[in-house]
Chain A
Amino acid sequence: EPEVTQTPSHQVTQMGQEVILRCVPISNHLYFYWYRQILGQKVEFLVSFYNNEISEKSEIFDDQFSVERPDGSNFTLKIRSTKLEDSAMYFCASKGLRDNEQFFGPGTRLTVL
């Protein structure tokens, strides 16, 4: 069964450093999303991406964040200068054109020291 994959599973970085989180969505999907979950809290929407552009973003997704689909298969989330409060689990999800179900990856745990 096709699945969403994410790498790395765990990323540790120093405050102020750039990180790139990678996702490979399901191959025929057209909608892509990033969510985050701070430990013990609810899952929060960050950004949606469709037709090669951002279609919606939350107030969390400020100028320090960016997304890219560089090669038609990967979908990346970049944080330019990480802060302590960026420590969280980051989930990628994708959705096909017809169904309204999003499929989630296993997540990347980001720890900012």
Chain B
Amino acid sequence: GDSVTQMEGPVTLSEEAFLTINCTYTATGYPSLFWYVQYPGEGLQLLLKATKADDKGSNKGFEATYRKETTSFHLEKGSVQVSDSAVYFCALSERSNDYKLSFGAGTTVTVRA
């Protein structure tokens, strides 16, 4: 079945540091890939997505590229801010199972001023 493996946290960084969170996936077909963010006490928000190989999703300075050859979708940001402190979830969905989302375990990121 489908599964997502993402880097274990927690990750603690200083402001303006470079952030990368690794994500790899296993899928039976050709999935769409997502990064969701959950700020403290809030629900899930879509951060970015990519639907086919070599697509790059980007939003709020975050980027991730759909790499089919390595089955990866690593999240990066060049210069983090305190407001980026949150839990980040990598996820995939496939049309074959009605687009249900399979999530990774989540990575807690704390950015210190």
A residues with a Cβ closer than 8 A to B are 31, 33, 35, 41-45, 48, 50, 55-56, 91, 93, 95, 100-107
Contact = CB atoms under 8 A, between A and B. Distances in A.
B99 interface: yes
Given A31-B99, A48-B100, A100-B93, A43 B44 contact: yes
A48 B98 contact: yes
Contact of B103 (A43, A103, A105): A43
Contacts, number: 57
A43 B105 CA distance: 8
Contacts of A100: 32, 49, 51, 93, 95, 99
Contacts of A102: 46, 93, 99, 101
B103 A56 contact: no
Contacts of A91: 43-44
Given A48-B97, A100-B99, 12 more contacts: A35-B101, A42-B106, A43-B91, A43-B101, A44-B103, A45-B102, A48-B100, A56-B98, A91-B43, A95-B99, A100-B32, A101-B49
Given A42-B103, A43-B103, A45-B102, A56 B44 contact: no
A106 B45 CA distance: 9
A45 B51 CA distance: 20
A80 to B, nearest CB: 23
Contact of A43 (B45, B89, B93): B89
A42 B101 contact: no
Contacts of A56: 97-98, 100
